C-alpha cells in the first residue's frame, strides 16, 4: 500500500525536490544534473577487499546525490527509481566499455560493449527485515529501471535476482572495513537454480552505493562459487580438470595486483594459502553503483 500511495500523492499534491527541497517539483534540474554531470568512473575503496570486481560509479556520494538515494531507499520516494536507474545504467555501460573509446576512435556500440547475449544485472539483496520495513526493495527497483534504460538505448539487458542472504547480518552502519568483511563473510548465496539464469550474458552486480566494498566482494564470491561448481575445463588428454584462480592481492600503495592460475585434477584441495572461491567468471563479472565516496574515485586520487 505504501508504494502506490506515495506514487499517487506525488501526482495530486504539490511536491518538493527530494534532493534539495525546492518547491513544486519532485526532482529539480540541479539535482538531476548531479547524477549525470560527468561520465561514470572506476572506483576503488582503500583498503580494497580481495575479490572485489571492477566497479564503476555514476556520481560522488555527497549532498544532493546522497539525499536522492536516501529518499528513494528510506522514505519511499519511488518516483526516483527511474532517474537513479538511468544513472546506474550509465555506470553499467562504463564498466562494459561503452565509454572507453579514445579520442578520434569510433565509440563502442551496444553490441561491441556487451558481447554476445544479454547484460545480466544482479542486484545485491536487501535483508528481509529491511524490505519489510521499507515496503520495497530499492536496489532491485533501480536494477529493473536500469535494465529498461539499457534496452531502450539498444543494449539487451535483464535482471537476474539470484542472490539471497543465507544468514542474518548485523547493521553495518557503525562497522569499519574489517568488521564489515567479517560480518558479511559467507552471508550470501545464489538461490536454488539461480546459476542457470546466469548463463549466456555479461554479469554486472549492481547496488546503490559502495563504501568499503565488502558487500560487493561477498556478492562476487557467491557468484563465482556457483559458476565454479558448474563449469569444468578439459585437459588435452581428455581428463576433466578444474581451474583454480587465486585471489587477487591488492598492493594498495602501488596499485598492483597479483593473480595466479593453475590447474588441478580431480577433487578440490582446500587450505592452500591465498586460495579463494573459484573465479571462472573472470573478466565477465563487473559491478556498477549509483554513487561512491568522492575519495574512492581513481581520478580524484591521482
Q: What is the pLDDT of residue 28?
A: 92
Q: What is the pLDDT of residue 281?
A: 59
pLDDT winner (highest mean) among 2-16, 91-105, 174-188, 202-216: 202-216
Average pLDDT over the chain reads: 75
Q: What is the pLDDT of residue 16?
A: 86
pLDDT band with cut points at 50, 70 and 90 for residue 228: low
pLDDT band with cut points at 50, 70 and 90 for residue 157: very high
**204 phi and psi, to 5 degrees?**
-130, 115
The answer to whether the beta carbons of residues 157 and 191 sit under 8 Å apart is: no
pLDDT band with cut points at 50, 70 and 90 for residue 99: very low
Q: What is the pLDDT of residue 116?
A: 56
Mean pLDDT score, 227-237: 50
Q: Is the pLDDT of residue 108 over 60?
A: no
Going by C-alpha positions, the residue among 184, 134, 181, 188 that lies closest to residue 161 is 188
pLDDT band with cut points at 50, 70 and 90 for residue 230: low
Neighbouring C-beta atoms of residue 261, cutoff 10 Å: 10
Q: Which three cell numbers stand for residue 83?
A: 532517474
- Write out the E strands in the chain: 41-43, 54-60, 118-123, 157-159, 163-165, 188-190, 201-209, 233-234, 240-245, 249-251, 256-258, 261-265, 285-292
Q: For 54-89, how does the pLDDT look when each residue is reduced to its tens digit (9 = 90+)?
A: 999 999 999 999 999 999 998 888 999 999 999 999
pLDDT band with cut points at 50, 70 and 90 for residue 283: low
Amino acid at each position: 500500500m505504501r508504494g502506490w500511495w506515495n506514487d499517487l500523492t506525488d501526482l495530486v499534491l504539490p511536491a518538493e525536490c527530494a534532493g534539495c527541497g525546492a518547491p513544486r517539483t519532485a526532482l529539480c534540474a540541479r539535482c538531476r544534473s548531479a547524477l549525470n554531470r560527468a561520465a561514470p568512473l572506476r572506483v576503488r575503496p582503500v583498503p580494497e577487499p580481495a575479490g572485489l570486481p571492477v566497479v564503476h560509479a555514476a556520481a560522488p556520494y555527497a549532498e544532493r546525490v546522497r539525499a536522492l538515494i536516501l529518499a528513494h531507499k528510506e522514505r519511499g520516494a519511488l518516483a526516483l527509481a527511474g532517474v537513479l536507474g538511468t544513472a546506474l545504467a550509465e555506470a553499467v555501460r562504463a564498466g562494459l566499455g561503452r565509454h572507453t573509446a579514445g579520442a578520434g576512435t569510433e565509440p563502442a556500440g551496444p553490441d561491441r560493449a556487451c558481447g554476445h547475449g544479454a547484460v545480466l544485472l544482479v542486484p545485491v539483496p536487501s535483508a528481509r527485515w529491511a524490505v519489510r520495513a521499507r515496503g520495497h526493495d530499492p536496489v532491485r527497483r533501480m536494477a529493473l529501471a536500469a535494465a529498461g534504460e539499457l534496452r531502450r538505448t539498444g543494449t539487451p539487458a535483464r535482471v537476474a535476482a539470484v542472490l539471497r542472504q543465507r544468514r542474518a547480518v548485523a547493521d553495518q552502519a557503525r562497522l569499519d572495513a574489517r568488521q564489515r568483511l567479517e560480518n558479511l563473510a559467507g552471508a550470501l548465496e545464489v538461490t536454488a537454480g539461480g546459476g542457470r539464469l546466469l548463463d549466456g550474458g555479461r554479469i554486472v552486480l549492481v547496488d546503490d552505493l559502495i563504501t568499503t566494498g565488502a558487500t560487493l566482494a561477498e556478492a562476487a564470491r557467491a557468484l563465482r562459487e556457483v559458476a565454479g561448481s558448474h563449469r569444468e575445463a578439459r585437459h588435452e588428454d581428455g581428463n576433466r580438470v578444474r581451474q583454480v584462480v587465486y585471489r587477487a592481492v591488492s598492493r594498495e600503495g602501488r596499485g598492483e595486483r597479483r593473480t595466479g592460475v593453475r590447474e588441478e585434477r580431480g577433487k578440490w584441495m582446500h587450505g592452500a594459502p591465498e586460495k579463494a572461491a573459484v573465479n571462472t567468471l573472470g573478466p565477465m563479472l563487473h559491478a556498477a553503483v549509483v554513487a561512491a565516496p568522492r575519495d574512492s574515485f581513481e581520478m580524484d586520487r591521482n
